Amino acid sequence: MPRYVVQRWKKIGFVMGATIALTAMIVGIGLRPAAAGGATEAMKSTIDEVLKILGDKDLKHPEKSAQRRKMLEKVVGDRFDYAEMSRRSLGSTWTGLSAPEREEFVGLFQTLLVSTYAEKVETYSGEGVHYLSERTEKDYAEVRTKVLTGKTEIPLDYRLLNRDSVWRVYDVVVDGVSLVNNYRGQFSKILKNGSFAELVDQLRKKSEKIRTS
């Protein structure tokens, strides 16, 4: 991935590669929707919840850090569809997996994504997020936003899928770079030279490191 892309991810709290900060999306000041719709309102509700947690003075005490992290992870988990993200990131390999294999992969992938998100979003100090537009087609939607950080404006879009009348994020695109496609490329390289078991083993090790850190 080009260095300038990686740097832009870092500026808004995202790291694409070994990590993914799921969303500097939600640490904005003065949010102003340009074209609000169902998917946009769903994103705004998540943003409001996260802002409430980040602004809670009581939760800023060091002894409350674990509680605060869990609260952030839950809010994000309620909006992101980790199973769909996992399916799209694995591509055709997903169809050949058993139910237990899929369940384990989703769990490991979720641990990686959520942990990194929580770490990055807690340190994010951007000036704001502006909503630009919403495009909807049947059960799919894309909410386009612009993240303001310093003098830089970074395009940040969310792709959502409506299931059981709930909009859930299945991909994040920053400055034209898709999170799902990025992981799919990484996983494909591992699977090309190895096996699914080896990929899962790598994720297990990363997950264990996260849990013990």
Q: Is the pTM of this model over 0.85?
A: no
For the domain spanning 39-212, the CATH number is 3.10.450.710
Report how far residue 156's alpha carbon sits from residue 90's, in angstroms, rounded to the nearest whole number: 23
With 0-12 / 13-18 / 19 or more C-beta atoms within 10 angstroms meaning exposed / middle / buried, residue 129 is buried
Domain residue spans in the chain?
39-212
Where is 204: in which H helix or E strand? helix 196-212
Spell out the per-residue pLDDT of the chain, length 213, in tens: 444 444 444 444 443 333 334 444 434 333 343 344 699 999 888 877 877 887 888 988 989 988 988 888 888 888 999 999 999 999 999 999 999 999 999 999 988 887 766 666 665 555 567 889 999 999 999 999 887 767 778 888 999 999 988 999 999 888 888 989 999 999 999 999 999 999 999 999 988 887 776
Where is 170: in which H helix or E strand? strand 166-174
Beta-bridge mates of residue 12:
none
- Nearest partner of 91 among 185, 19, 11, 22, judged by Cα: 185
Q: What is the pLDDT of residues 97-133, one digit of tens each?
A: 999 999 999 999 988 887 766 666 665 555 567 889 9
Task: Using a pLDDT cut of 90, give the percent of the chain over it.
Answer: 40
